[in-house]
């Protein structure tokens, strides 16, 4: 066997071993990260949430619900996780008011689950009633995602204590914090910020072009007080 054939054979083995043979599939490490994320998002009712996110090794995560991949690199560039839709029967079973408490708030944000998605440009997590994060796993850890430009946290339960964490994401161009619990001068944190620390303002977001603070408890004269360059 000639040297060129031997080299070709070794390259083929490497391609197969690393999953590069599938030119149009997502990357193995990103598929693994997404499956770990799915496992972390727990709802009280139903077991079909994110059902398209399959553990089958041949399953292409670029085809999964809420996932957008680059056409060239096949890296995940957008991740959108919508609130689980429940059936009419499930709605009737939650009329006692336990839906929000038992289902939506079972999930605490864990930044480490998103860090493997290194090419992520947009992260959309609207409507989950998230109120906090796992200790030491706040949004500031997303600064490792240097390409992250869009972050949608609308329809959650964060207050101004989240500002310090978000201020460490200088790559952001669009930030949606509408429909949260952000109040004027509020210092009651759902995360692990210390009340009264003086850090409940957005700062350092030099690239920010769009900021949505609609439907919070901010008074008009206090909106600018939340922003410090």
Model pLDDT for residues 117-152, shown as the tens digit of each residue = 999 999 999 988 788 899 999 999 999 999 999 999
Give the CA distances from residue 188 to residues 159, 162, 191, 195, in Å, rounded to whole numbers and listed in that order.
7, 10, 9, 6
The answer to whether residue 139 is domain-embedded is yes
Query: Is 61 domain-assigned?
Result: yes
In a domain, 17, yes or no: no
- The number of domains in the chain is 1
Asked if residue 82 belongs to a domain, the reply is yes
Beta partners for 227? 202
Q: pLDDT tens digits, residue range 43-102?
A: 645 556 788 998 887 889 999 999 999 999 999 999 999 776 655 555 445 444 444 444
Indicate whether 89 belongs to any domain: yes
Q: Is residue 18 part of a domain?
A: no
Tokens in use for 175?
């930030």
Give the domain extent around 202: 27-228
Which CATH number does the domain housing residue 214 bear? 3.80.10.10
Residue 12 lies in a domain: no
Is the residue at 145 inside a domain? Answer: yes
């Amino acid at each position: 066997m000639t040297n060129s054939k031997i080299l070709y054979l070794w390259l083929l083995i490497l391609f197969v071993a690393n999953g590069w043979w599938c030119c149009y599939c997502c990357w193995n490490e990103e598929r693994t990260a997404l499956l770990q994320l799915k496992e972390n998002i727990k709802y009280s009712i139903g077991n079909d949430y994110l059902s398209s996110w399959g553990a089958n090794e041949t399953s292409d995560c670029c085809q999964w619900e809420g996932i957008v991949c680059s056409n060239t690199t096949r890296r995940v560039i957008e991740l959108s996780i919508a609130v689980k839709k429940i059936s009419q029967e499930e709605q009737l079973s939650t009329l006692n008011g336990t839906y929000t408490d038992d289902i939506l708030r079972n999930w605490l944000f864990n930044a480490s689950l998103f860090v493997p998605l290194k090419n992520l440009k947009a992260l959309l997590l609207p409507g989950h009633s998230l109120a906090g994060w796992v200790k030491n796993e706040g949004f500031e850890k997303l600064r490792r995602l240097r390409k992250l430009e869009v972050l949608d946290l609308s329809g959650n339960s964060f207050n101004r204590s989240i500002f310090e964490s978000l201020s460490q994401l200088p790559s952001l161009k669009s930030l949606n914090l509408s429909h949260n619990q952000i109040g004027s001068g509020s210092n009651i944190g759902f995360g692990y910020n210390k009340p009264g620390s003086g850090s409940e303002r957005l700062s350092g977001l030099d690239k920010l072009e769009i900021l949505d603070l609609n439907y919070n408890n901010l008074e008009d004269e206090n909106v600018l007080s939340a922003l410090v360059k």
